[in-house]
Amino acid sequence: MSVVIRLARAGTKKRPVYHVVVADSRFPRDGRFIERLGHFNPLLPKDNESRLKLDMDKVKAWLAKGAQPSDRVTRFLDAAGIVKRAARNNPEKAVPRKERKAAEAAAKA
């Protein structure tokens, strides 16, 4: 059984709230889960302390058991200093589309 720590969407249409849950990776996003670890409200400002609430003791316990955090949850845990997030390198995304297309055309010619 592959266990993941991920976000499950709640709230109404156009007003999302997410629960941070531990679930089997085979279960649907908003479906059955093992345990709720906290919640995340993306509509609140980033400096608001109630934007993200996590029970860090439970998170550490699940990570020790082998649960894998999703990309977004890894960002949260990296900000809290629990998990180190690997740096990503996507150089094509940094270049504006027109310049990227011009560079590709010049490389083909």
Q: Which domains does the chain have, with CATH numbers?
A: 3-80 (3.30.1320.10)
pLDDT at 95: 75
Query: Is 80 exceeded by the pLDDT of residue 109?
Result: no
- Averaged pLDDT of the chain: 91
Angle at the Cα of 31 from the Cα atoms of 33 and 55, rounded to 5 degrees: 35
Span 26-46, average pLDDT: 95
69-84 burial by CB neighbour count: b if 16+ within 10 A, else e? beeebbebbeeeeebe
Give the global pTM. 0.78
Span 21-49, average pLDDT: 95
Sign of dihedral through CA atoms 3, 8, 78, 92?
positive
pLDDT at 1: 66
